[in-house]
Structure 1
Amino acid sequence: MKRLRTLVLLILMFVPSALTWAEEPKLPAEDLASLVDTAITNNPELKSSQARWQMFRNRIAQARSFDDPMLMLKLQNGLVNSPFNFRRDSMTQKVIGLSQQIPFWGKRGLKEEVAANDAESYRWQVDERRLELARMVKETYYQIFFADRSLEIVAKNIRILDDFITLAETKYAVGQGAQQDIFKSQVERSKMLDMKISLEQERKSLVAALNALLYRSPETAVGRIPDFEIQPLPLSARDLRETALKKRPMIKSLQALIDKGEAGRRLARKEFYPDFNVSLEYMQREPAMGSDGADMYSLGVTFNLPVRRERRHAMVAESNSEISMATEELNGLRNTIDSGISDLLAKLEKREKLVMLFKTGIIPQAEQSLESATIGYRVNKVDFLSLLDSRVTLFNYERELYESQAEYMMGLAQLEALVGTDPAMPQTGPGKVPTIVPPVPSEPEH
């Protein structure tokens, strides 16, 4: 009786905690679009890129501005032996002057164009960073999806193996089975537990990576990733390449660098012409030595002599090299896009076919095979190794199904980053296709 009371007390102690555990609310399913928006809003690297763009954007107004005018105050022709006596000599003057540096015609506009194209390049790099960040979030999202489904499959297989153990123990108890079958099923169950531990650790790492992209606490829980159906792409490889030329931010960024180099080359050629300095001086005099002390003024223009032509030729050559560099980078990017689209489309086609094959053929057949093997083992027509083999085959195929689904969606995310927009959405409207500028000669015209 005493032992019974102790047992009842222990049960009552654990019942509240068990009820609390059972009543813990499940996390809501994650929404991919919301996660991407959060990353774009919070990610510090993206904010840094935006600040860099604003920094270069603020240089445009600086580039088009004139230099500050110069104010001059001086005493002219003063006498050393009487430095502050302005009436002893009629040439002693108090002078106030104003001068302004004026660049040669067109230089300010070209400097503004250079700065504007530089800022434009960084602007498109911000958009490129957004695409890259969205790709990373989506890839991590679908990796978590695969980890979650793998854990579900493992849990289902542990339950199946528990049934196998019970079945093997029952047959062994009545003398129809071997004890070795029990041990084999227990070993298989332990393997599943080992895989479960690895998958749980992998999911925690993926959750930490996703939280880092979203710039939130690494311990922030991530809910279940909902199921989805893959959709075939509506665009061909040719359509995707044309879309990339219109939409890919990095192409526009490199085109802006080419435009910057061309403006810089025109500016370098302007350096062969002088800049001007216009000055106006007013000289106030006092009556002295019979002079009425009439005030005077001075108006003048000075300009530099652009005789250091070697330096100016080097400036033109520098701009030519900048154009060539950006042009070849653009050509290389186009080549990468072309090959990347072909490669990703081939991988997507493979994954799409595998998903259909697993869903409509392989997995239903594997399920029937396992069911048949289970029935056969019960009536001693199938050995235990065949039963385990059927279970392993179904387990592997189910994992490959979810892996193919996840890989397909990750391939779509990579294709979106490569093209510059969602490839699953039909593209309409005109767009500017950047012109590929051939490399310029290194020798300047002057």
Structure 2
Amino acid sequence: MKRLTNSYPRVESRQLEKLIKALHRFRCVLGVIPLVVSTNILYASESFNEMVLTEISAVEVAVRDNPNLAQMKERYKALADVPPQVGALPDPMVNFNAMNFPADTYDRDQEAMTQIQIGFSQVFPFPGKLSLKEDAAEYDARAAGHSVEEVRLQLIKNVKGKWWQLYYMDRALETVDSNQTLLRQFISVAKTKYETGKGLQQDVLLAQLEFSKLMDQKIQLQAIRRNQAIQLNILMDKPANDELSLPDQVSKMMPNLAKENVLYQKAEVIRPRLKQVETQIDAAQSRLDLAKRDYYPDFKLGVTYGDRTGDNPLPRGDARSDFVSVMVGVKIPLYAGRKQSKAVSQKRSELQKNRYALLDEKGMVMAAISSAVTDYHRAKQQFSLYGGGIVPQAQQTVASMLAGYQVSEVDFLNLVRSQMTLFNYQLQYWKALSDAKQALARLEAAVGEESVYE
């Protein structure tokens, strides 16, 4: 026991020196945390260009390969081929008829009215109907084009959101690893003190408990990260279990946003979803005008040529003449009260429905813009507060606590608590950065373009 007691000062001194060095390394985990760290672009190291997934490359891959976006593009192409079809005349009819053959002999020469006919008929809708059908189909195609752009915006928003969530998970796991390293040092020092009779067993148990809590938190973070990676892989049309590696250095720039009223005005002009609904209103108006035109009749024109054989009876005795027939038909809206009138009422209600839908969409867009702006400003302020104030202060507190513990002026419980408090603040620092970037992605999607800054 005497030998242990005599050797204690050297052992404790070495442990504390290691602990202080570990703390210094730990303070560098975040780097030198400034109020604003300026980095122009997200990047990947040239030597790991194929292994590191940047935010920009994730967006590019998703826009190129996402099957849902590809589906919407094909739908747009399909609808773009509809207007010429509905704007064309109905296909004409060609008729071949065998008329007035005597049932006893089936002889073409026996009866004067026996003939072989060939006919041609064409339906002509009332003037203006075809152009209105073509206009409605053209508006549908344009709306589909706007929906493609809307899906693209939402895809980019989702990809950026998942990417920044993954980035936060990586930084959180790094922070957990660094805290585990420090707690191992704490446990080693506490054991040394306990073995020499200058510490308490509860200090060792407390440090081991906090270490176990970190292990549990790491397990949870790893599971969450894997789930986020799966979702990002699906958006990029990659195998769900593909491993994703993100860069360590990212842009921490927090730009100033344009005023909300300016963002509202931009969204009203360029947001694809609003343009889609506006185009649907135009399509509904064309269909209403077409329903009103259905009160007017369509026309059918037909021409038939009848070929006869044989001779006329005496005294004429000459060959029988062929026949030519002309037919004109008019569709009569006889049941207008039950058909055309109801159709007009239906199309008018559909037009009004689309107008209300536009008002509703505008309200939702404005709400999304305001919500994203609010979240961005909150996260930006928190990022600045944690980076420039809280985290450095918490680091100083831990260093001070460690110095006090070294001379037995601070108990071990307060030292551990101060370290765990620092750990939580560091997580909040990275979360604030991730939240701010996700809010920017939502804002860009809500407005309809990336230019949302002053």
Structure 1 SS opposite 2:174: helix
The corresponding residue for 1:62 is 85
Distance in 2 (alpha carbons) for counterparts of 1:402 and 1:35: 20
The corresponding residue for 1:4 is none
Change over 3 Å in CA distance of 1:233–1:291 after alignment to 2: farther
Q: Is 2:72 aligned against 1:44?
A: no
Deviation at 1:321, TM superposition (A): 1.1
The one of 435, 442, 445 aligned to 1:407: 435
Distance in 1 (alpha carbons) for counterparts of 2:128 and 2:49: 67
Q: Is 2:199 aligned against 1:171?
A: no
Distance in 1 (alpha carbons) for counterparts of 2:49 and 2:114: 93
Q: Is 2:392 aligned against 1:364?
A: yes
The corresponding residue for 1:270 is 293
Residues 238-292 of structure 1, C-alpha deviations (whole Å, 9 max, x = no match): 1111111122111111111101110001101110111111111112223332243
Distance in 1 (alpha carbons) for counterparts of 2:236 and 2:333: 55
The corresponding residue for 1:309 is 336
Unmatched runs of 5 consecutive residues or more in structure 2: 1-47
Q: Provide TM-score, normalisation by structure 2.
A: 0.84
Deviation at 1:50, TM superposition (A): 2.3
Distance in 2 (alpha carbons) for counterparts of 1:260 and 1:224: 46
Q: Which moved more, 1:225-234 or 1:244-253?
A: 225-234
Contact 2:139 2:283 (8 Å CA) reproduced: yes
The corresponding residue for 1:155 is 177
Q: Provide TM-score, normalisation by structure 1.
A: 0.86
Structure 2 SS opposite 1:135: helix
Q: Is 2:343 aligned against 1:321?
A: no
Deviation at 1:374, TM superposition (A): 0.6
Deviation at 1:295, TM superposition (A): 2.3
Distance in 1 (alpha carbons) for counterparts of 2:113 and 2:225: 90
The corresponding residue for 2:364 is 336
Residues 85-144 of structure 1, C-alpha deviations (whole Å, 9 max, x = no match): 32x333332221111111111111111111111222222122211112211111111111
Structure 2 SS opposite 1:300: strand
Distance in 2 (alpha carbons) for counterparts of 1:72 and 1:362: 90
Q: Which amino acid aligns with 1:218?
A: A
The corresponding residue for 1:380 is 408
The corresponding residue for 1:22 is none
Q: Which amino acid aligns with 1:154?
A: V
Q: Is 2:312 aligned against 1:288?
A: yes
The one of 57, 69, 73 aligned to 1:34: 57
Q: Which amino acid aligns with 1:379?
A: V
Structure 2 SS opposite 1:79: coil
Deviation at 1:338, TM superposition (A): 1.6
Distance in 1 (alpha carbons) for counterparts of 2:215 and 2:360: 48
Q: Which amino acid aligns with 2:245?
A: G
Task: Give identity over the alignment, percent.
Answer: 31
Q: Indicate the RMSD between aligned Cα atoms, in angstroms.
A: 1.8
The corresponding residue for 1:297 is 324
Deviation at 1:80, TM superposition (A): 2.9
Structure 1 SS opposite 2:305: strand
The corresponding residue for 1:82 is 105
* 1:187-336 correspondence to structure 2 within 5 Å: 187-226=209-248, 227-286=250-309, 287-289=311-313, 290-310=317-337, 311-336=339-364
Change over 3 Å in CA distance of 1:415–1:128 after alignment to 2: same
Contact 2:62 2:155 (8 Å CA) reproduced: yes
Unmatched runs of 5 consecutive residues or more in structure 1: 1-24, 427-446
The corresponding residue for 1:115 is 137
Q: Which amino acid aligns with 1:76?
A: M
Deviation at 1:325, TM superposition (A): 1.0
Structure 2 SS opposite 1:39: helix
Distance in 2 (alpha carbons) for counterparts of 1:333 and 1:424: 20
Deviation at 1:225, TM superposition (A): 4.0
Structure 2 SS opposite 1:66: coil
Distance in 2 (alpha carbons) for counterparts of 1:134 and 1:392: 36
Residues 366-421 of structure 1, C-alpha deviations (whole Å, 9 max, x = no match): 11111111111001111111111210111111100111111111111111221111
Structure 1 SS opposite 2:422: helix
Distance in 2 (alpha carbons) for counterparts of 1:306 and 1:204: 65
Deviation at 1:74, TM superposition (A): 1.4
Q: Which amino acid aligns with 1:63?
A: V
Distance in 2 (alpha carbons) for counterparts of 1:267 and 1:27: 56
Contact 1:46 1:130 (8 Å CA) reproduced: yes
Q: Which amino acid aligns with 2:83?
A: I
